[in-house]
Structure 1
């Protein structure tokens, strides 16, 4: 029996296998008007194809809890009922195919209001449906980026409320997994890292203060999310600053991640989705197959929190080994699922497990 194709249980939810789809922004929603942030036929086809292909859990792209929380004006949102209604079509289809639908709840913070990557990815202003971002501290992401507004205490409370309401809407939309996006230099991660958080109030300074916002967001989500359904948290295990001896900038570390994982567990998080980077520009990262797996492995070894590994996991036997050796409880695939929506079916065949194939496609088995 393949470890990769063993079901995995989180609370009462049984996910049919350990091949999961990582959130990947599509930059394909309307930027303004009544359809702003609403899932389109593109999003349906994109997510449905991976369910048809046998993926066990499909997570949406970073889905903004507020208009100003979008990475780009063309991102998905979950701040109104029109967005809820559009998502129901997707979640209904995924569940009918035996795939668990999950949503990543996000706020981009200082990295908001940018163009799609194929349009350069730079900041956009009001003439291109943009806005001034917000952040823990008034520090631009990089040269040429706007200085964000520093969130006030009231503004922080408002964002926490937005996460709560977004989770409530996500449940109404049919999602069974909620993931808080605390990685890649977006707002929650900005609060966590001393590189981006220079506040002197209760949300800045030492670890406990910098972690306060993340824990309040998780608390708000868990408050409205059913006890029998799981909440995930995506983390950048490191800013890749202290790992580079020549880089004198202070950032978030793997030690910090292990410490936070223990607190997240106590706040009701069921699994840590372990990625890295994205918070500081100009960072040197040595990548390679499975280069982020050791971060997930350490969290799993030092806490009782389940983990998912991500990052250049491309081959079935590579993924199988990660799970079989207990380095992670699941793998999240990104680009590889863009290349091959049926990766899970192909991997199941290669590993000797029975692929999950729709009746309409049985002639191809």
Structure 2
């Protein structure tokens, strides 16, 4: 073993509290005062000194009247022991302040594309101000890929509308619940202000493929009323749905939280979907990153942006569509 190797067996048998007792004794040169500083009784401090003497095979402190004078061995040990304790205190208990402006790193998010369209602009604008060197990457993941990507460190945070089978090593922050709305173009279809399920079932539908379990929720809702919708088109992107609806006499049923995206198109109307169909929106991450300063910073910024976008929904726990 060279001088830089750790003697694990010797260190295992060492009570590191003894080094703290030694350091305080060096400062106080008095057993009672050292005991008081360590919130110990004098017998416990005397016992610690006896163990130190055995450990170092040296008296370490010699009583001279009311004082304890250090031996040459104690004087030689003192600077290294004090420095070691200070370093241990620094790296164990004093985390350096986190400065997002100094971060040069990359973080990866996964969220539905509609949520990305709503959240990403203000999120990136905020990060450009607070953490200009942080690179943010968003990616679409199918529901059955999300937790595997999280566990394999392929993605850092999920915003998901799917009831994922979370394990003990996953952390979840519930955001809000969302109902649904039907969307159609008033120039392509004439429907009542609040179409019934039967009225919607009579229409042709377009759905987006990155829906988590939303398609199943909606189909179950129709089936519960003895109805079925007729899906004639599937789009990979939610953003394409708005353009499709403006050019074809179709209906699309979407989470109510996306109403503002459809409100950008004057011809489109969002109407509350009858029934109690809901999905829960969650923020999910791996517990290994619970205390990671950069991850905590991003979660805080995300929550602040979400609070601005969905203040009423997060307060009430329900996303509701705007009725034109």
Q: Taking structure 1 as the reference length, what is the TM-score of the superposition?
A: 0.22
Q: Taking structure 2 as the reference length, what is the TM-score of the superposition?
A: 0.23
Which structure's CA Rg is the greater one? 2
More strand per residue: 2
Instruction: Determine which structure has greater relative contact order: mean sequence separation of CA pairs < 8 Å that are 6+ residues apart, divided by chain length.
Output: 2
